[in-house]
Structure 1
Amino acid sequence: TATAEDFLNNPTESVCSATGPSEPCLPVAATPGTGFSNSPDPQPIPFPINDGIIQTWKDEITNTLALNCRRASGIGPNDTYCVSGNQTLGAIKIDGDFYLDINANLTLSGNVWVTGKIIFENNGSLSLAASLGSGSVVIIADGTVDVSNNLTITGNGDPHSFLLLLSTNTSLDVFTPAIYASNNSTSIIFGALKGLLKVKNNGALNAAVAEQLFLEPNSTVTYNPNLIYFTVPAGSETPVGTALGTWREK
């Protein structure tokens, strides 16, 4: 959503409220804010998180968790790690999909790398272990990510401790985005560094970084000033620092 503090320079037809490619766009004039048609185009800046940082996080994870359930149709080996009840995970690789069941409660004590896709269902919860202090945790998915609106996400009480949920998936398709999410927790950051981040209808995110961002009707993304600097401990307990700033589309 746009506010009076937003401004656009040379807006295109993609600046609209359509829910998909087949839906009509509202006129650009319907977007609130002030036009600055003569202002120069901003220069691109690199993402605050790059492939090298992500690879460092992956390389530090040396233990692989055995898959414990099968969610694909038919008969075959387990293809997913399913979380039910109360569990704690950290510094672990899941060589398959990752599924958080309805009403499941997961505490994260370290980084998690998922080679498949992630699905977090309704009424579950994610929290960070108190032992992290001001450190943060990253979950990396090589596949797509789908996060329910009703998933409760909490930090560990430190305002500079966050959950960073990343997808390295490259999909820019609005119907199969790299991340499809909505969660207004101040403790989570969503990142689709090479793909589309789609915010669900009536949803809210407090921090996001993406190759492309798609907002469904009545959805918002709000910057959290505590994100100016945070660190994510790697498996060796050596923190990887990431500096984040603010941005504005011109």
Structure 2
Amino acid sequence: MHKFLAFGDVHADFETLWAALRAASCVDAQYLPTPPVQAGLFQVVIIGDLVHPKNEGEYARLIGLPSFDLHDADHLLLAARNQVAHLERLRAYQAAVPHAVHILLGNHDDAVLYDTYTLGTAGGLVHLEFDPERGGVLLPEHLRGWLAQFPRELRVGGVQFAHVSPLPAHLHYDDLFYGDPSTKRWFQEIPEYVDMAGLEFGVYGHTQMEGGILLDEEHRFAMIDALHAREYLELMLDAGEESAVSAVRAVPF
């Protein structure tokens, strides 16, 4: 039996991510992997979007100031530096157990890596801290190389982990992706996509779940962008046949 611990979109809330990893017995007080992770008995999956806080309040918390001004170069520098420090720690954690810590490439990570799109929120917030042409700074080259190695999906037998959905088109963050409203609505409108893809189970992020993890047992998938709600997903897969899901549950922490 193998335990997979899946954690939703981070969006620079690394304190909550580490709290979830500690609650799941995946990291110790020194930010090192625990023995079950080292042994590969626990498999950690982070579903993507490591960077870019979700709102101005989260930016202010990240930089340690009462408010955040995206037009203030000092604020952008603080936001970039603090994210870089946390990314370094997560990189070291994964490097200690690359066989057991899997980080997927989210669309926000992709935007920082390839500088193709400037992303923002419906409220008008624009993520500029890693855009040197608009007041930000470039992500350090070694971290860019690290992000570039992230897979776009993880398959374990018939179980898929991906940032957005089971659709192959949603694995690539291009003009078609950003013009496609189904990236945020597929799980409500066509939940049969998981079955159509021939999957036993799917685990996805990208769309924030206000009430915590959405576990759709009928259609065999979970939407796990719910770190803000302090939940992560636990899956038990049969050791002899890793495609067989024997248990799945949302875990509060």
- Structure 1 or 2: more helix by fraction: 2
Question: Which structure would you say has the larger Rg?
Answer: 1
TM-score by length of 2: 0.26
- Structure 1 or 2: more strand by fraction: 1
TM-score by length of 1: 0.26
Bigger relative contact order, structure 1 or 2 (CA pairs below 8 A, ≥6 apart): 2
